[in-house]
Amino acid sequence: MKIVMIGSGYVGLVSGVCFADFGHQVICVDKDASKIEALNSGRLPIYEPGLDELVAKNVREQRLSFTTDLAGPVGEADAVFIAVGTPSRRGDGHADLSYVYGAAREIAAAVKGFTVVVDKSTVPVGTGDEVERLMREANPEADVAVVSNPEFLREGAAIGDFKRPDRIVIGTVDERAKAVMTDVYRPLFLNTSPLIFTDRRTAELIKYSANAFLAMKITFINEIADLCEKVGADVQQVARGIGADNRIGSKFLHAGPGYGGSCFPKDTLALVKTAQDNDSPVRLIETTVAINDQRKRAMARKVVRAVGGDLYGKKVAVLGLTFKPNTDDMREAPSISIIQALQDAGAKVSAYDPVGMEQAKPLLPAGISYADSVYEAAADAHCIVIVTEWDQFRALDLPRLKESVADPILVDLRNIYQPEEVTRHGFRYASIGRASA
């Protein structure tokens, strides 16, 4: 099939490349000429494990191409996916749909023959209705079916998620559109189809509901972690004990500094606003958003306590800047609030991240020194803080670190070490939801 992907950011690029790898002919379109030039030169705008090899393979085999021209490819497409950004709108927290609506108008002007227009962007309930209205308004003769097809990709594991999905949600009641979407995803069928067909509004709400529920799980275990510290319990054992119940499940029960990234913060906030606008408030999600916002700076206070209550003039080595490992995404990363709070407490911050430092620099406050390795960042530090659980931080040379730091204190905000493992090397150790050692 001929597929056009409007938007070559995270969702659009990963989805387009995977569709091409299925054997479809895919053209990725983006208004950013520099991004398209980079992609045509083999330089990717994002970091995702395995993506560069997959792009190179499908370009080489002529199933994947990149362009700034929308009209030509759309006119020949069987399906056009809208995969543009929907950031939080400044001032009120609603999803900014201007890019979605702009793409819809341009697509309407370019379609020829029956075309399925697929909203892959994360959008509030009712967006598909407005997209359809705008397209009819822009081109009353356009023969289109507007479909909702939300993505459920985890950054750092997106290719595997796309090729081995738990489910594929498709919101449409149009039989022609169902047939096209079935063909688009047919390479994923083994014994059974992973497709779940719903109406369009239900599909839109499934995406927001899924992200909000996962955000609540994270926030729940973080609050339980705080209680564990007060009563002398171990949050990791609590999480294991409740996660073994298959009604609950073990995923997203890892205590830490709060959620970040491109989805959970903006999607929970957008769901809150949608619910308020429809006079059906979602109090659990409202509380989740508030708790998560407060938690990030609270992690800096944990660091202050670990060093004895005073950080003024002391060096803190921050390991990990991105919101999670295996991505260079800094959007809403906990490190941003944590570092700002550490600086507010008078600390001198040295930072290291394996992939995300260039993306971090424009977002982090001034005055940070950036190191080329863990050990450079930790030299003469009064405290080491693990913020992101990159694999290379899981087996640090603790004796070497002990010799290089000014004060052997390790604050592990991801619980990747066991306390006795750290303390036997002479460190004082603090983690989340466990007794300090």
Q: How confident is the model at residue 90 (pLDDT cuts 50, 70, 90)?
A: confident
pTM for this entry: 0.92
Q: Please indicate, yes or no, whether residues 108 and 243 belong to a single structural domain of this protein.
A: no
Please write the tens of the pLDDT for every residue from 177-207: 999 999 999 998 876 779 999 999 999 999 9
Q: Please indicate, yes or no, whether residues 17 and 155 belong to a single structural domain of this protein.
A: yes
- Report how many domains make up the chain: 3
Bridge-based pairing of strands 195-198 and 64-67 is unpaired
Q: Please indicate, yes or no, whether residues 157 and 74 belong to a single structural domain of this protein.
A: yes
Residue ending a domain, choose from 198, 220, 247 = 198
Q: What number of other Cβ atoms are within 10 A of residue 154's Cβ?
A: 13
**CA-CA distance, 146 to 43, in Å (whole number)?**
32
Question: 219: domain CATH number?
Answer: 1.10.1040.10
Q: Please indicate, yes or no, whether residues 192 and 215 belong to a single structural domain of this protein.
A: no
Q: Please indicate, yes or no, whether residues 25 and 52 belong to a single structural domain of this protein.
A: yes
Phi/psi of residue 182, each to 5°? -65, -40
H or E element: which one contains 310? none
Q: Please indicate, yes or no, whether residues 219 and 88 belong to a single structural domain of this protein.
A: no
CA angle 258, 238, 219 (to 5 degrees): 20
Q: Which domain holds residue 382?
A: 294-430
Asked if 168 and 149 count as a contact pair (C-beta separation under 8 A), the reply is: yes
Q: Is residue 366 part of a domain?
A: yes
Lowest mean pLDDT segment, chosen from 16-30, 178-192, 298-312, 407-421: 178-192
Mean pLDDT (whole number) for 283-292: 97
**CA-CA distance, 164 to 256, in Å (whole number)?**
28
Q: Which strands, in side-by-side order, build the sheet including 195-198?
A: 64-67, 25-29, 2-6, 79-82, 115-119, 144-148, 168-171, 195-198
Q: How confident is the model at residue 255 (pLDDT cuts 50, 70, 90)?
A: very high
> What's the pLDDT at 262?
87
Query: Which residue type occupies 325?
Result: P
Q: Is 228 one of the annotated active-site residues of the chain?
A: no
Asked if 123 and 201 count as a contact pair (C-beta separation under 8 A), the reply is: no
Question: 426: domain CATH number?
Answer: 3.40.50.720
Q: Is residue 435 part of a domain?
A: no
Q: How confident is the model at residue 1 (pLDDT cuts 50, 70, 90)?
A: very high
Q: Which of 18, 28, 228, 263 is catalytic?
A: 263
